[in-house]
Structure 1
Amino acid sequence: MVSKLYQTYKPNLDFSGLDHIVVGSGMGGLTVATWLAKAGKKVAIFERHYVPGGFTHSFKRKDGFQWDVGVHYVGNMAEGSSLRSFFDFLTNGKLEWESMGEIYDVANIGGTEYVFKAGKENFRKQMIAYFPEEENAIHTYLKLIEKTNKRANAFFLEKVFETWLSKVFGWILRDRYSKYSQRTTWEVLQEITKNERLIAVLCAQCGNYGLSPNNSSFGAHAMVIGHFLEGGYYPVGGADQICEKTLEVFTANGGKVFINADVTEIVTENNCVKGIKLGEKFIPCKNVISNIGVNNTFNYLLSEEDRKTCKFSLKNVQPASAHICLYLGLNKSSEALNLPKHNLWYYKYHGIDKIFDEATLENAPGNFAYISFPSAKDPNWEIKNPGTATIQAISVGNMDWFEAYKNSKWMKRGIEYVQLKKNFETEMLKILYEFYPQIEGTIIASEVSTPLSTENFTNYKSGEIYGLAHSPERFALSFLRPKTKIKGLYLAGQDITLVGVAGAMLSGLLCATAILKFNSWKIFKQIRGN
């Protein structure tokens, strides 16, 4: 990313006259900041990392390899879709998207392959071909996905209602959605079919929301499945183009971005936001928008009194799952190696809950792997990096596995820690060579990230990448909405809505609407006009 889009935080810089401060530069923060800047507000983003973007950023190495850290594909990005229109508005149409083709995901469960084809009817036909005796169940499933998501749309829209309107009408929308969001994916699917292999196939993409069927909310499952039904897309040039193209528009509208800016406190007085602190430096503003997760916001940046005011409690909700990832650089092109655009979901057997629940550092990669090929998805990769390719292979992780190293520093965690990562790499490579034997002998770069890596850059204490777990309990938390009970404090990010780039963007859109109120409709008119 070009450095002209951001600057390193220094206490002596001029921070006067700010309308809004956004803490955290992930997709939710980028969205609300850009909307506000386009509406003529004076906005600044403060990011603790040395690059902006949150999970939309990529990291690079001297040998030219680049890997995404969170964005592997995005759904609903066809020309003319509402999500595409929002992205075009944020980036002034400068962000391009590449379709992953007819097949966007492949699941291999216990040695049997199942392909996921773009288009609801293609999905329907393919699943019926695999399970002809379950045709009625598959029809019922797709109807239920559509019905649940219609209610989800109303549920999320209600989050911008004013208090009086929420009390009068909002409960109806929340109650209608709770019939699906307050039940687990397993509970709902068990009523549709008793075929456990079919359930496993329908839940094979559960890594996209981070919980197994018996623990996840069916509401989250339905939203994510519906999001990808029409296929997958990848940002041309890599995931970091999402952030870069958005920041180009944000800064062109007067916005400022500060990196290495670790906000230590949101300052309030008489239940009203006054500004933020970075160490001893106080920066005043009218509103603060936190995009760093509700756990980090309430437990680390606000006082106990503020938490009581907001009725904040996460005692019934756990953080989302963590992960371990192997990043590979190869000395041949994706085309030469015949690497696919689609992702691979590998499960050793169809008991997904058992695989997740009984995962250990030693058995995780052998039982579950999500394998993605960024260089194959990106049409610009070969132009910029000829004769090379990249692969990412992910398995479930747990911060407890690395408890002995929690007090160590990034890149200085010791030989034993390095060996643990090497062991993971060895086991994951066995899976990769099983499915893609042609890559053996071509690997010239490799790295492994653990939950400790995630914690270092995001401050998520459990190394989670999806914020709050997408369990039924999560969808019952009344304070998960953009506007808080503290005047001038707003929330954005995937905790407010749903996992992923689209979910985080929705949170930013809702937050901007809550702040701009009726003026936000002027922006919607601009989007429709585009």
Structure 2
Amino acid sequence: MSKKLCKPFKRDLNFSGLDHIVIGSGVGGLTVATWLAKAGKKVAIFEKHYVPGGFTHSFKRKDGFQWDVGVHYVGNMAKDGSLRGFFDFLTDGKLAWESMGDIYDVANIDGTEYIFKAGKENFRKQFISYFPNEEKAIDKYLELIEKANKRGSAFFFEKVFERWLSNSVGWIFRKRYAKYTQKTTYEVLSEITKNERLIAVLCAQCGNYGLSPQESSFGVHAMVIGHFLEGGYYPVGGADQICEKTLEVFTANGGTIYINADVTKIVTKNKQVQGIQIGEKFISCKSVISNIGVNNTFNSLLSETDRNICNFNLKNVKPASAHICLYLGLNKSSDALNLPKHNFWYYKNQNIDEIFHEATLQNAPKNFAYISFPSAKDPNWDIANPNTSTIQAITIGKMEWFEAYKNTNWMKRSKTYLTLKKEFEEEMLKVLFKFFPQIEGTIIASEVSTPLSTANFTSYKSGEIYGLAHATERFKLPFLRPKTKLKGLYLTGQDITIVGVAGAMLSGLLCATTILKFGSWKIFKEIGRSKK
């Protein structure tokens, strides 16, 4: 377990001589920390949770069941995939990936199923079979995805530019990408087709970035759809293996990770970072890299003066959406129950925006559900957990629904809160039994998490899972880049790029490149050699 690679934080430990401190052990933090450690820097990660990994970690219960909390699939992970070389570098090639097969997603909209097949041409043919009169629109859609993502790659690479270079030529990259980021997904799609059902199906995976078509930036839609276009992959052994294998490499290269280490302040002086504070303990370093989200970083760990120096302002950008999740453990194997590897998206009707906007605690599971089968995706599950399987069912959640319980403690909340969770479970089970009736009578473990659970472990005040909302305004924020205006303070994580494992890893790559500058090219060469 990755927890064995960690050290519990204690005030009397020796923290001297650190080059870099990373706050938070999610993928962005793990990436930049391992990258820097491999470059010979002395790096320490400080994680507030008792388990490392951020949204890549898994949790276990006494009955032996284990569930992921955030990773359900990753794209571009074939041997020649664009991300594979980077993950192989971070894990020294020890992290194996399992393909989800020819079908990675299935959407059910008011009773009609739509299959998402791996491969651009397979995707194209499948959708033309569903919408034979919309061939031109489907071709235009795929063309827009490709063009947007090419501009997006340049947009994100520009984030490593020094400020003078960004000011002089970087505006070109930002302007060219704005054509795609400053329109909503619905606006772009409604320009190429008037078929509302086609638009709904093309947006059926919008839960991957947490906003409905009329609210999301087309830039993020294109990135996420393009990311999965060649199919989905799952880490062998479960999502926590991403953290496990990366930490093995990080610690082997001299890095240290401390758990139960809740950083309370980033200490600065004369516009320069001095170190961090954990309670009364001050720990000095040359630079601090925050991986806990820009909202948490600037509003919780920095002074108002420091926020103003960095031009931090989130007035026009909201937090991303929250969720409620039902975790199930079953007493039969995935094969015995014929559980699929692919994910299942359910919508009561094609009005996705209405479903998202008018969601209540009572109607959310009735109208929308994302269902994942982690045990079916992982070839190692049956070896370690014979004759059992797991399911996760997610729907929209809002912190305001649980406002009355915000000041109560995790696992010690009131009976009325537990009753709300039980009522949600019952409604979600109705959806599951409708589409997967074979699981009735096999459930032997269940648990429900709400936005309060997310807030408890991440400090995201709204219980959001995707950081800042991926709306058009997000792509205009000038401070969403690795290097800040405070000397020695850097940012990483999904806020700097986009949602998901791939987005967070990219942010870590950009942050490491910003710090190492030309020294990072040696590592890029190593990655290039490993892909051959």
TM (norm. structure 2) is 0.99
Partner in structure 1 of residue 311 of structure 2: 311
Q: Give the Cα separation in 2 of the matches to 1:260 and 1:473.
A: 35
Q: Give the Cα separation in 2 of the matches to 1:192 and 1:3.
A: 50
Greater Cα offset, 76-85 or 337-346: 76-85
Q: Give the Cα separation in 1 of the matches to 2:289 and 2:5.
A: 20
Within a 5 Å distance, the mapping from 1:248-259 to structure 2 comes to 248-259=248-259
Within a 5 Å distance, the mapping from 1:22-421 to structure 2 comes to 22-421=22-421
1:373 Cα offset (Å): 0.1
Does the residue aligned with 1:336 lie in a helix, a strand or coil? helix
Does the residue aligned with 1:22 lie in a helix, a strand or coil? strand
Partner in structure 2 of residue 446 of structure 1: 446
Following TM superposition, where does structure 1 have runs of at least 4 consecutive aligned residues deviating by more than 2 angstroms? none
Q: Give the Cα separation in 2 of the matches to 1:192 and 1:470.
A: 22
Q: Give the Cα separation in 2 of the matches to 1:187 and 1:339.
A: 36
Q: Give the Cα separation in 2 of the matches to 1:307 and 1:7.
A: 32
Q: Give the Cα separation in 1 of the matches to 2:193 and 2:63.
A: 50
1:112 Cα offset (Å): 0.3
**One-letter amino acid matched to 1:373:** F
CA offset digits 1:262-286 (Å, max 9, x no partner): 0000000000000000011000000
> Is the counterpart of residue 472 in structure 1 residue 472 in structure 2?
yes
Greater Cα offset, 79-88 or 468-477: 79-88
CA offset digits 1:7-34 (Å, max 9, x no partner): 1100000000000000000000000000
Partner in structure 2 of residue 520 of structure 1: 520
Q: Give the Cα separation in 1 of the matches to 2:30 and 2:182.
A: 30
Q: Give the Cα separation in 2 of the matches to 1:347 and 1:336.
A: 27
Q: Give the Cα separation in 1 of the matches to 2:267 and 2:523.
A: 30
Q: Give the Cα separation in 1 of the matches to 2:184 and 2:131.
A: 23
Q: Give the Cα separation in 1 of the matches to 2:334 and 2:82.
A: 32
Question: For the Cα contact (< 8 Å) 2:2–2:247, is it kept in 1?
Answer: no
Question: For the Cα contact (< 8 Å) 2:2–2:52, is it kept in 1?
Answer: no
Q: Give the Cα separation in 2 of the matches to 1:166 and 1:454.
A: 36
CA offset digits 1:68-114 (Å, max 9, x no partner): 00000000000022200000000000000000000000000011000
Does the residue aligned with 2:335 lie in a helix, a strand or coil? coil
Q: Give the Cα separation in 1 of the matches to 2:489 and 2:60.
A: 35
Q: Give the Cα separation in 2 of the matches to 1:71 and 1:209.
A: 13
Partner in structure 1 of residue 456 of structure 2: 456
Q: Give the Cα separation in 2 of the matches to 1:262 and 1:3.
A: 16
1:2 Cα offset (Å): 4.3
1:227 Cα offset (Å): 0.1
Partner in structure 2 of residue 483 of structure 1: 483
Q: Give the Cα separation in 1 of the matches to 2:344 and 2:383.
A: 25
Partner in structure 2 of residue 507 of structure 1: 507
**One-letter amino acid matched to 1:17:** G
**One-letter amino acid matched to 1:156:** F
Q: Give the Cα separation in 1 of the matches to 2:102 and 2:71.
A: 20
Does the residue aligned with 1:392 lie in a helix, a strand or coil? strand
1:62 Cα offset (Å): 1.1
Does the residue aligned with 1:82 lie in a helix, a strand or coil? coil
**One-letter amino acid matched to 1:101:** G
Q: Give the Cα separation in 2 of the matches to 1:303 and 1:461.
A: 18
**One-letter amino acid matched to 2:267:** V
Gapped runs of 5+ residues in structure 1? Answer: none
CA offset digits 1:114-171 (Å, max 9, x no partner): 0000000000000000000000000000000000000000000000001111111100
Question: For the Cα contact (< 8 Å) 2:128–2:134, is it kept in 1?
Answer: yes
Does the residue aligned with 2:170 lie in a helix, a strand or coil? helix
Q: Give the Cα separation in 2 of the matches to 1:337 and 1:80.
A: 33
Q: Give the Cα separation in 2 of the matches to 1:24 and 1:2.
A: 15
Partner in structure 2 of residue 495 of structure 1: 495
Q: How many percent identity over aligned positions?
A: 79
1:45 Cα offset (Å): 0.2
**One-letter amino acid matched to 2:33:** A
Does the residue aligned with 1:79 lie in a helix, a strand or coil? coil
Q: Give the Cα separation in 1 of the matches to 2:461 and 2:355.
A: 24
Does the residue aligned with 1:335 lie in a helix, a strand or coil? helix
Q: Give the Cα separation in 2 of the matches to 1:2 and 1:504.
A: 19
Q: Give the Cα separation in 2 of the matches to 1:455 and 1:393.
A: 19
Greater Cα offset, 122-131 or 75-84: 75-84
Q: Give the Cα separation in 2 of the matches to 1:51 and 1:428.
A: 28
